[in-house]
Structures are given as C-alpha cells and as structure tokens.
Amino acid sequence: MVAVLFGALFQFSPWEWNRRFHFEFDFEALMKSRPIGYSPLGWVAVGIAILLGTLVLLRLLSALWYVFRFYGYELRRNGEDLRIRCGLLTKVSATVPRNRIQFISIHRTWLGKRLGVASIRIETAGGGAESNEDAAATISRQWFVPAIGEEEIATLLEEVRPGLNWNE
C-alpha cells in the first residue's frame, strides 16, 4: 500500500519535487551493457534473489505484526469466564464464557512441531465470524491462545473444559 501511495504521488503530483526524481528506464541499453554478465542466467538469478528477499521481508513483517498484536498476552479465569488481554500499540481485551465454548482446535505448524509450540483456537455459541467484527472478537475466537508449549496444552484444556479427552 505504501508503494502504491508513493507511485500515485509521483504520477499525479502537481508539485515540482516529483520532476526532480523523474527518470526513464532504457531496458535495451541495460541489456546491451549487461552489468550482471553475458548470460541471461544472471538475470534469472537476480530475479530469484529479489523474489526470495521479498518473501523473507514479508515473513519478517508478519512476525513483527504478531509481536505487536499479541504482546503481553494474558489469559485469566474469572469465575466461569475467561478474560484475554493483549496488544502493544492497541490494547485488546475480551471475555469468553466457558459454558459457551463449542469448538476447540489445536493448530501445530511444521516449525511449531519442531519447537514444541502450538496455538489454540475456539468457537463459541453465537460467535460466528462477521465481516466487520472488532479486534476483541477476533482475538477471542480465532486466537484463544496464540502460542503455547506442548506440555501446557493438557493443563489449559482441563481448565477450559474439565474432563475433555482431546488426545483421541
């Protein structure tokens, strides 16, 4: 989105500053100079490197989003309710009534299995997804516990649903 905004500013800006940065890309001259070498294989290697760099950057940005969203994650039991609080810049809090929990799923990614970490998601009665739901509903429904050690899952599920046999 930032790149689209900058592109629009440079393309449609009435100010003089965008003319200072104006340049024309001469692809034919670039191909004749062959700065990477004489082989088109060099260009393929550069394309693959750019693609991999972009994928790594996106992965780092998603990890940063995860940290901002779930920073200080706290799950507490308050009577028959479970209270969730988290967030670094935007604080989110939600209450989940234990007796309304209908579906519990444990998610383990390939890397999570190697690290011994899983996430737990739940669905509550009347808690269907809406296109305009708020952050508290998203946190409590989709990410009940965003990251938990494998050895702690049984203890947590016993608190949420006593007598639940989740290993079958």
* Complete edge-to-edge strand list for the sheet that includes strand 74-78: 74-78, 81-86, 92-97
**Higher pLDDT residue, 145 or 15?**
145
pLDDT, mean over the chain? 79
pLDDT value for 41: 78
pLDDT digits (tens, 9 = 90+) for 63-121: 899 889 889 999 998 888 989 999 898 888 888 888 888 888 899 999 899 999 999 98
pLDDT value for 2: 78
> Among residues 87, 84, 94, which one has the least CA distance to residue 72?
87
**Higher pLDDT residue, 138 or 75?**
75
Q: What is the mean predicted confidence (pLDDT) over 18-45?
A: 64
Is residue 52 over pLDDT 90?
Answer: yes
pLDDT value for 125: 77
Is residue 22 over pLDDT 60?
Answer: no
Is residue 129 over pLDDT 80?
Answer: no
Q: Residue 47: pLDDT band by 50, 70, 90 thresholds?
A: confident
